[in-house]
Amino acid sequence: MKLAALLVIGLGIAWGPVSSPLAHADADPLFRLVDTAAQRLQTADPVAAVKWINGGSIEDPARVDQVLSAVGAQATASGADPVFVRQVFTDQIHATEGIEYLRFSQWKFDPATAPVAAPDLSQSRTAIDGFNHTMVSEMAAQQGVLHGPGCAVALDAARAQVTEQRHLDSLYQQALTAATTNYCS
């Protein structure tokens, strides 16, 4: 019994924590990209709360144009295909809007669950801009994987790892699938 316990402890020390994002990032080249996409999706709830409280529209074409221009410019500067990057971000934005529409529907059906306070929208947008920068950097770094024959396998593995580590519910799993649908095209 003591030997088994020592073996487990020894393996834990040798391999490090099993749930470490760094370990998964090394094993799966798309992990960081997909994980950042999931983090970006998770901004949908606070952004929806701001829009709900302020009576704002879910869709914001001016902001979408601003984001797509910025990621397209970063893609060009980093050697990534700006058309590909803009398509990926269009999918990401649509998935985020989908979450926001669902939240609005839930709050309409059950007003008692609607938010009464929300964070400052500029905080969410700053976080989103940071996630965008990381995602474009990862797309540039992982071009060979994203446009290679092993992309679908790597993407499925990254989605599974992110879903498990971030404890994504069915809504966020569906949104993550929609956001990453054109990664391998």
Domain extent listing, the chain: 30-180
For domain 30-180, give its CATH number from 1.10.150.120, 1.20.59.10, 1.10.3720.10, 3.40.50.150: 1.20.59.10
Dist CA 17 CA 15 (whole Å): 7
What's residue 13's pLDDT?
32
**104's tokens:** 């609005």
pLDDT tens, residue by residue, 31-77? 999 999 999 999 999 999 999 999 999 999 999 999 999 999 999 99
Whether 42 and 176 have beta carbons less than 8 Å apart is answered as: no
**Chain segment 98-157, per-residue pLDDT in tens:** 999 999 999 999 999 999 999 999 999 999 999 999 999 999 999 999 999 999 999 999
Distance, in Å, from the CA atom of 17 to the CA atom of 43, rounded to the nearest integer, reads: 27
- Flag whether pLDDT at 1 surpasses 90: no
Token pair 């092993």 is found at 150
**pTM of this structure:** 0.85
How far CA 148 is from CA of 110, 124, 125, 145, in Å, comes to: 46, 34, 32, 5
pLDDT digits (tens, 9 = 90+) for 100-113: 999 999 999 999 99
